[in-house]
């Protein structure tokens, strides 16, 4: 549906040129929700604005539904843009128009007749749950309501692609969830392909199926959200994962363990729980089979795409060779285990 090939954008900087995007390639399938995550300054905004050519890429190709946008003349580009809806962080609604008239704007621009516009706008406001607010001006609406108007407006011309540029970043957490669920619902009902950029892991985790991680204009990794976040390849991705499933070990315990690397009679382990590992009674199995006493000291289990995902830190106490065997057993079953060190009896921090 959407294909970016070797997309590069260079801005003439004050001293040296600034590379905002460095040969970014990605493909978004029809009906997918594709998230692009990155810290501020990673190039996300430039990337999404290159998709509808609000920014002209320095080099590379943007293909939407097979059409190379850069090759189009102004008239054809304007027609192609009607197939790409866009939702903005700061809503960008016209303050002089009511909610109804804001949603009508793209239809007016597309040259539709007023008789066609009115029922379509009513239908769209219904879709986003704002039928009762049609006559209100943006200044009279809450942030969440404004973004609903923004979404209705973006969908007016029945686009094939919906671009969300930090669409929830100006909203409070509760409203963010409502707006994300609305986008996911629209994606299911209308089959529209969604590309969203964000700096929030929770946004990607909640609705995206695929994700690309962007840093300093480069794409670090991409793939199915679950795979990328359960097997992060880059430090940036790991830090995003830590934001949602992160927990910190008690500092004294971690210090003690790091002074005594390797396995001992009481070994501090971190076990990543993904898929199967999270569904099985792992702890009691280890305890029974390898005669270990397991003491969970920290942990968090969450969900990505409805699949369990998390990690536990525990102290395994028992015979060191039994602990080794247990670790081997877990690894054999593709469970990621990290030995953080051991805690000798005479150096155990006061609990």
Partner 1 sequence: MSRQMIDLLLEALAETLAMVGAAGAVAIAAGLPLGVLLLISGKGHILENRPVNVVAGALVNAVRSTPFIILLVAIVPLTRLIAGTSIGTQAAIVPLSIAATPFVARLFEAAMREVDPGLIHAAQAMGATRLQIVLKVLIPEARPGLMAAATVMLIGLIGYSAMAGAIGGGGLGDLGVRYGYQRFLPEVMAAVVVVLIVLVQAVQSLGDTLVRRYSRR
Per CB under 8 A, the list member of 109, 276, 291, 301 interacting with partner 1 is: 109
B/e letters for 238-271, b = 16+ CB within 10 Å, e = fewer, are eebbeebbeeebeeebbebbeebeebbebbbbbb
Measured CA to CA in angstroms, residue 221 lies from 150, 203, 232, 263 at distances of 30, 18, 8, 33
Residues of this chain, 60-79, that bind partner 1 according to CB under 8 A: 74, 77-79
Q: Check residue 97 for interaction with partner 1 (CB under 8 A).
A: yes
Q: Check residue 351 for interaction with partner 1 (CB under 8 A).
A: no
Q: Which is nearer to partner 1, 106 or 318 (CB)?
A: 106
- The number of beta carbons lying within 10 Å of the beta carbon of residue 160 is 19
Residues of this chain, 137-176, that bind partner 1 according to CB under 8 A: 137-139, 157, 163
Minimum distance from residue 156 beta carbon to partner 1 (Å): 8
The answer to whether the beta carbons of residues 84 and 62 sit under 8 Å apart is no
Q: 243 — phi, psi (to 5°)? A: -65, -35
Got the DSSP string for 79-121? HHHTTEEEEETT----TTS-HHHHHHHHHHHTT--HHHHHHHH
Rounding to the nearest 10 degrees, give the CA dihedral for residues 82, 84, 87, 89: -120
Q: Check residue 248 for interaction with partner 1 (CB under 8 A).
A: no
Q: Check residue 105 for interaction with partner 1 (CB under 8 A).
A: yes
Q: How many residues are there in the chain?
A: 351
- DSSP secondary structure code for residue 140 in this structure: G
Q: Which is nearer to partner 1, 95 or 332 (CB)?
A: 95
Q: Check residue 90 for interaction with partner 1 (CB under 8 A).
A: yes
Minimum distance from residue 163 beta carbon to partner 1 (Å): 8
- Cα separation, 73 vs 177, in Å, equals 39
Number of residues that bind partner 1 (CB under 8 A): 29
- Cα separation, 169 vs 283, in Å, equals 39
Q: Check residue 106 for interaction with partner 1 (CB under 8 A).
A: yes
Q: Considering only 104-112, 260-268, 273-281, 336-344, which stretch makes contact with partner 1 by CB under 8 A?
A: 104-112
Token digits of residue 259: 């002074």
Q: Check residue 283 for interaction with partner 1 (CB under 8 A).
A: no
Token digits of residue 228: 């990328």
Q: Which is nearer to partner 1, 164 or 339 (CB)?
A: 164
Minimum distance from residue 16 beta carbon to partner 1 (Å): 21
Q: Which is nearer to partner 1, 94 or 242 (CB)?
A: 94
Residues of this chain, 206-225, that bind partner 1 according to CB under 8 A: none
- DSSP secondary structure code for residue 300 in this structure: E
Per DSSP bridges, beta strands 67-68 and 307-317 are unpaired
Q: How far is CA 94 from the centre of its chain?
A: 29
Q: Which is nearer to partner 1, 80 or 131 (CB)?
A: 80
Per CB under 8 A, the list member of 5, 72, 80, 337 interacting with partner 1 is: 80
Q: Check residue 92 for interaction with partner 1 (CB under 8 A).
A: yes
Per CB under 8 A, the list member of 23, 82, 300, 336 interacting with partner 1 is: 82
Residues of this chain, 4-63, that bind partner 1 according to CB under 8 A: 52, 54
Q: 322 — phi, psi (to 5°)? A: -65, -40
The answer to whether the beta carbons of residues 306 and 207 sit under 8 Å apart is no
For partner 1, the binding residues (CB under 8 A) are 52, 54, 74, 77-82, 84-86, 88, 90, 92, 94-97, 105-106, 108-110, 137-139, 157, 163
């Amino acid at each position: 549906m959407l294909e970016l090939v070797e997309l590069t954008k260079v801005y003439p900087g004050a001293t040296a040129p600034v590379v905002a995007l460095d040969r970014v390639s990605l493909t978004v399938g029809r009906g997918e929700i594709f998230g692009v995550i990155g810290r501020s300054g990673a190039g996300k905004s430039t990337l999404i604005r290159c998709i509808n050519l609000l920014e002209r890429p320095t080099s590379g190709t943007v293909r939407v539904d097979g059409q190379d946008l850069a090759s189009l003349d102004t008239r054809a580009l304007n027609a192609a843009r009607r197939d790409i809806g866009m939702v903005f962080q700061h809503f960008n609604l016209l303050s002089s128009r009511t909610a109804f008239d804001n949603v009508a704007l793209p239809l007016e621009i597309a040259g539709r007749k007023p008789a066609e516009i009115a029922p379509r706008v009513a239908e769209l406001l219904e879709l986003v749950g704002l039928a009762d607010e049609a006559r209100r001006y943006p200044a009279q609406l809450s942030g969440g309501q404004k973004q609903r108007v923004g979404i209705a407006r973006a969908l007016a011309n029945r686009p094939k692609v919906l671009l969300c540029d930090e669409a929830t970043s100006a909203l409070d957490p509760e409203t963010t969830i409502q707006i994300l669920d609305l986008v996911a619902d629209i994606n299911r009902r209308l089959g529209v392909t969604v590309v969203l950029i964000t700096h929030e892991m929770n946004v990607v985790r909640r609705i995206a199926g695929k994700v690309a991680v962007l840093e300093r204009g480069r794409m670090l990794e991409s793939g199915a959200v679950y795979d990328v976040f359960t097997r992060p390849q880059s430090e940036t991705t790991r830090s995003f994962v830590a934001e949602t499933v992160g927990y910190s070990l008690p500092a004294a315990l971690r210090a003690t363990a790091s002074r005594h690397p390797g396995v001992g009679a009481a070994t501090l382990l971190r076990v990543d729980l993904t898929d199967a590992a999270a569904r099985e009674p792992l702890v009691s199995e280890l305890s029974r089979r390898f005669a270990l006493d397991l003491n969970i000291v920290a942990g968090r289990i969450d969900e990505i795409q409805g699949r369990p995902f998390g990690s536990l830190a525990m102290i395994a106490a028992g015979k060191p060779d039994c602990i080794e065997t247990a670790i081997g057993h877990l690894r054999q079953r593709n469970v990621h285990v990290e030995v953080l060190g051991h805690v000798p009896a005479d150096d155990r921090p006061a609990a």
